[in-house]
Structure 1
Amino acid sequence: MFTALVRMSERLRFGGMDPLGDILDGVRARTAAFCQAVLDPPWALRICDEAALGLAAPLHGHAWVVPDGGEPTLVEAGDVAIVQGPAPYTVADHPGTRPTVFVHPGNRLITADGTDITAATKLAATTSAIGFGAEPSAGSTILASGVYDVSSFVSGRLLATLPTVVHVPRDRIRSPIMDLLHVEVGRDGPGQQVVLDRLLDLALIATLRAWFARPAGDPPGWYRAHGDPCVGRALRILHEDPAKPWTVAELAAATGVSRAAFARRFTELVGQPPMTYLTHWRLDLAAESLRNSEATLAAIARQVGYANAFALTVAFKRVRGTTPQQFRAGLADTVPAA
């Protein structure tokens, strides 16, 4: 199973991915991030670990996710909730329960009076018991949780489309991932942490798929278009080779439809004309390189399809409202278009 999971994860992360795969590539489970906690009511955890995304999934019992300034969300056993950070939020047995334990970066557990109880609550490498012994009672909650880093500027496209709390009921997640996580967390064998991290990555993907596919869902255009035989193919082509000097006519020919029909269909599904989408994607990639590499502006320009640094600067300033140099220096920030 380990080899199959690694291969599945690699196919989702590396070359030839669809747009969702490209955007998720910068969202990774943190090493040693997954754990399950046994919680006896009344209980409330204040999550202040500064993670960009957190996962909460009751394996037994229930939990309320309470974002600051937002509506509480009830998460039943088998459901999955993805919560956007880095702002703190509370997970509790009831929305009115006051937090008694604060979860800090590194999964450090600090009580309200400042006592570090991290070591005292550990039952095993990945299990904690807060407030009572190792055996759960009938009213207790077993909560599986994990956190993700979002290291890629490109992944901001995904975060911009999501609410603070993404809640997906168990019957909508057509994947055995959470069951596999529940089984694996109780083991202590070689390579276990790698397996847990991969499973946590896949749990995020399965949850987002279910969220976007729900009847009341309003997924972003690039996600809706993925399933279209014409536009989906064009999106994959653009993501695989964004630097090529594409034209609408070339994309239409590659997808086997007329230029007019292709342009109309692409704009209808994605919400942007093909060349506008390509421009935004190139600039997302440029922003990623500016923030996470030391490549020269000229080199980045060539990598994303601009003739030179000047051409990239003009496009970046027009679309992002700032220059690449200011963006790299951290003097300005921009949010990717959804």
Structure 2
Amino acid sequence: MDPLSQLLNDGHNDRHEVVNARFTAPWALTGGAGARLVAVVVAAGQAWCHVPGSNPVALTKGDLVLLHRTSYAIGNDPRPPTRMAECAALSVTGSSLQGPTRIIAGQYSTFPENGAALSADLPSCIYLSAASWEPQLLPMLVNEASQITLAQRSVLRRLLDLVLVEALREWCESSPARGQAWLRAAWDPIIGPVLSLMHDDVAHPWTIHELAEQVGCTRVSVASRFHALVGQPPLTYLAQWRLNVAAELLENTDKTVTAIAREVGFTDPFRFSAAFVRRYGCSPARYRLGGSSTSAQA
């Protein structure tokens, strides 16, 4: 399973902050950098997107913006706000039942640590103009949002997931020089299956020989191709992935440190704790209490 699938399938990925609203000026949709990932679609009308360090971007019907770990302001005003939001929660002002602008937005507020491979490659803002791509699912999302139907909120969440995948695929394929390592690797006919093997059974004591055997290639070809696409050796990536998964389990479950160590492939909880400290700068127990001093690097 690739990191994007892991993100969308993760049971702890609570995406309750979904906006489907019309707006009349003055209006704004804002959020702070604590938000892991925010998808914003302009379903009708126009808007301006403001992100720190970047020029304002004019948005029109059919445009999509992905915001990653950044504060932002989307609204009718082309002038940047004097102060960006600090709270990660979506904040909405100026909504109106008959407003000319409709915005659909979803916030992935608990982006798991085992999505760190994805997180490391995403820029703070991805802008996809309606004139530059032809999404298949975006019209379905807009159509669903414009009606009053049963289970609409649940349907919008699922359609947003699919539009997110479509948008990331478009971004990856249209900007191959951007360095989105795992995105290229996940769709590679050799390394994609290797990643799936490691992600699907993180506790297995994988070796280069076994991974190569599983995908029908030589050890040299798997090792060199993996390093070229992902930027690090397979077993180094696996070691980091195990700790990413462990961090997510510490944050979102009540399992003991020893149980989590076994679940991610460590037979010795002391070795697990030592590796975790090297990765996150604190012990697993302290991390569970919110004491991490470093962020994961993919």
* TM-score by shorter chain over 0.5: yes
Q: Which residue of 2 aligns with 1:248?
A: 208
* Count of aligned positions: 294
Listed one character per residue, the Cα deviations across residues 155-207 of structure 1 (whole Å, up to 9, x for unaligned) are 34433322222101225544332211211112222222211111122122211
Structure 2 gaps, min length 5: none
1:211 shift after superposition: 1.4
What value does the CA root-mean-square deviation take over the aligned residues?
2.9
- CA gap of 1:83–1:274, structure 2 versus 1, over 3 A, is same
Task: Report if aligned partners of 1:46, 1:91 keep a CA contact under 8 Å in 2.
Answer: yes
- CA gap of 1:235–1:166, structure 2 versus 1, over 3 A, is same
**Aligned equivalent of 1:33, options 14, 18, 23:** 18
In the TM superposition, what are the counterparts of 1:114-193 in structure 2 within 5 Å?
121-123=95-97, 134=98, 136=100, 141-193=101-153
Report whether the alignment pairs 1:215 with 2:200: no
**Aligned equivalent of 1:96, options 76, 79, 83:** 79
**Aligned equivalent of 1:72, options 56, 68, 72:** 56
Report whether the alignment pairs 1:315 with 2:298: no
**In structure 1, C-alpha distance between the alignment counterparts of 2:29 and 2:155, rounded to whole Å:** 27
Task: Report if aligned partners of 2:22, 2:99 keep a CA contact under 8 Å in 1.
Answer: no
- CA gap of 1:35–1:252, structure 2 versus 1, over 3 A, is same
Task: Report if aligned partners of 1:34, 1:197 keep a CA contact under 8 Å in 2.
Answer: no
Report whether the alignment pairs 1:196 with 2:145: no
1:28 shift after superposition: 4.8
Letter of the structure 1 residue corresponding to residue 19 of structure 2: F
Letter of the structure 2 residue corresponding to residue 312 of structure 1: F
1:65 shift after superposition: 0.7
Task: Report if aligned partners of 1:242, 1:305 keep a CA contact under 8 Å in 2.
Answer: yes
**In structure 2, C-alpha distance between the alignment counterparts of 1:273 and 1:312, rounded to whole Å:** 20
- CA gap of 1:328–1:159, structure 2 versus 1, over 3 A, is same
The sequence identity of aligned pairs, in percent, is: 32
**In structure 2, C-alpha distance between the alignment counterparts of 1:152 and 1:98, rounded to whole Å:** 30
Query: Could you tell which deviates more after superposition, 27-36 or 149-158?
Result: 27-36
Query: Could you tell which deviates more after superposition, 266-275 or 186-195?
Result: 186-195
- CA gap of 1:64–1:273, structure 2 versus 1, over 3 A, is same
In the TM superposition, what are the counterparts of 1:218-229 in structure 2 within 5 Å?
218-229=178-189
Q: Which residue of 2 aligns with 1:268?
A: 228
1:81 shift after superposition: 0.4
Task: Report if aligned partners of 2:198, 2:238 keep a CA contact under 8 Å in 1.
Answer: yes
Q: Which residue of 1 aligns with 2:68?
A: 84
Report whether the alignment pairs 1:55 with 2:15: no
Greater CA radius of gyration, 1 or 2? Answer: 1
**In structure 2, C-alpha distance between the alignment counterparts of 1:313 and 1:47, rounded to whole Å:** 39
Q: Which residue of 1 aligns with 2:28?
A: 45
Task: Report if aligned partners of 2:3, 2:118 keep a CA contact under 8 Å in 1.
Answer: no
In the TM superposition, what are the counterparts of 1:224-235 in structure 2 within 5 Å?
224-235=184-195
Task: Report if aligned partners of 1:64, 1:73 keep a CA contact under 8 Å in 2.
Answer: yes
Task: Report if aligned partners of 2:117, 2:182 keep a CA contact under 8 Å in 1.
Answer: no
- CA gap of 1:158–1:18, structure 2 versus 1, over 3 A, is closer
**In structure 2, C-alpha distance between the alignment counterparts of 1:312 and 1:163, rounded to whole Å:** 31
State the TM-score, normalizing by the size of structure 1.
0.76
